[in-house]
Amino acid sequence: MTEMMLPNLYRIEIPLPKNPLKALNSYLIKGDGRFLIIDTGMNREECQNAMFTALEELKVDLKKTDFFITHIHADHLGLVAKLATDKSRIYFNPIEAMMINDNSGIEDKLEKSAQSYLANGFPPDELKSSLEKHPGRHYGLGKHLDFYVLKEGDRLDIGDYSFRCIETPGHSPNHMCLYEPKMKLLISGDHILSDITPNISYWDVMENPLKQYLDSLSKVYPLEVSLALPGHRSKITDHKKRIRELRVHHQNRIKEAALAIENGACDAYQVAPYITWDIDCKSWDQFPAQQKWFAFGETLAHLIYMKKEGLIREKKENNKILFSPLCIRKYIS
């Protein structure tokens, strides 16, 4: 399905089968003899079929098409491996470009995360199931790509649009938004979503992902934005209001985590069931393996934030990392 959002700017809905996100918003901008696609969908047949149908409808020549990828997740990046031609430029942020092409594959990266998850209480059998179903393993690039690196403040021009690059780490290590000041347009990727909250998870390359995310929200808050186009779900017409809602959401999540460890030391896996999750399951035990991976990662990110803020302490006991209260009663009262 395609939808015109602004002159020469179209939303292409790319299905994400059996995924709670349901679909990805890919954006196509028509310029003078050139096209730009922002995010692509996963490297899987269903995504590819939807994309090619839309590109045919919009009369897009892939030999005249460049790509901008907001961040490293497979649902935004994976399909570019099938779409890019030898005439294409693939614009990407520096940190995540290096992560992809640093000669260590997805298996090595998942294994590194797995060791941290085990140390924080994730059961080995459930971890094995989560890793087997990880989308990055099945629907990622599958090959080396040469990226054109864009950094904070760089410009990307296409047709009537002149975008400024804004680095917004948090959801991923170097997530990047595009801002068009003349049109008051923000391409927000997964930094700001309309009716769901971006997953802020544990990354071994990030010291404090939740703090970086909250700082990134503050970074884009002052921008003049009439329309924000997110990576999933519906458009956003009041980005400041949505940012305020996201801040409250994370404050509430911190309070839930604080209450979970108020009476004694817990590992992250023991805290996770006490967090409110927007998953259609009656209990934590019923969570699908892949959703449990993301929920656990988000729990861990919040606990790391709380430790850095001096609300809780961390200790290692029997090869497990446990968190215990410091001054959380003052915080949650």
Domain residue spans of the chain: 2-104+142-245, 112-136+247-332
Q: Are 189 and 72 in contact (CB under 8 A)?
A: no
Over 60: is that where the pLDDT of 161 sits? yes
pLDDT band at 18 (very low <50, low <70, confident <90, very high): confident
The CATH-assigned architecture of domain 2-104+142-245 is 4-Layer Sandwich (3.60)
Tens digit of pLDDT for each residue in 61-75? 999 999 999 999 999
Over 80: is that where the pLDDT of 105 sits? no
SS (H, E, C) the chain: CEEEEECCEEEEEEECCCCCCCEEEEEEEECCCCEEEECCCCCCHHHHHHHHHHHHHCCCCHHHEEEECCCCCHHHHCCHHHHCCCCCCEEECHHHHHHHCCCCCHHHHHHHHHHHHHHCCCCHHHHHHHHHCCHHHHHCCCCCCCCEECCCCCEEEECCEEEEEEECCCCCCCCEEEEECCCCEEEEECCCCCCCCCCCCCCCCCCCHHHHHHHHHHHHCCCCCCEEEECCCCCECCHHHHHHHHHHHHHHHHHHHHHHCCCCCECHHHHHHHCCCCCCCCCHHHCCHHHHHHHHHHHHHHHHHHHHCCCEEEEEECCEEEEEECCHHHHHC
The verdict on pTM exceeding 0.75 is yes
Count how many residues are written for the chain. 333
CATH code at 112-136+247-332: 1.10.10
Q: What is the pLDDT of residue 108?
A: 73
Q: Mean of the per-residue pLDDT values for the chain?
A: 93
- For the segment 314-331, the average pLDDT, to the nearest whole number, is 82
- For the segment 89-102, the average pLDDT, to the nearest whole number, is 93
- For the segment 49-60, the average pLDDT, to the nearest whole number, is 98
